[in-house]
């Protein structure tokens, strides 16, 4: 590995973690652990959604609709 290339000095496990996270994003699976880490680091005084609330919010954001009102094409 070339240490002059940014990020190339990461251990293989870090690369696997990043790859797994990228794959989850590509197929639309929300990453609750990343959300919690972000909230704790950047918004420590604001409430954090439960995992169930987080998944529900992500599904609504991805597929549309709110509170039982789905957006459908047909």
Which residue ranges make up each domain of the chain? Answer: 32-74
The pLDDT of residue 67 is above 70: no
Q: Phi first, then psi: what are they for 48, rounded to 5°? A: -110, 135
pLDDT at 30: 78
Q: If we measure between CA atoms, which residue out of 29, 64, 36 comes closest to residue 51?
A: 36
Contact 19, 25 (CB under 8 A): no
Residue-wise pLDDT tens digits, 2-53: 556 566 677 778 888 888 888 887 887 778 888 999 999 999 999 999 999 9
């Amino acid at each position: 590995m070339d240490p002059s290339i940014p990020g190339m000095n990461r251990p293989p496990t870090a690369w696997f973690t990043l790859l797994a996270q990228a794959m989850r994003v590509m197929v639309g699976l929300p990453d609750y652990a990343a959300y919690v880490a972000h909230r704790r680091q950047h918004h420590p005084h604001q409430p954090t959604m439960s995992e169930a609330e987080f998944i529900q919010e992500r599904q609504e954001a991805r597929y549309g609709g709110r509170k039982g009102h789905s957006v459908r094409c047909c």
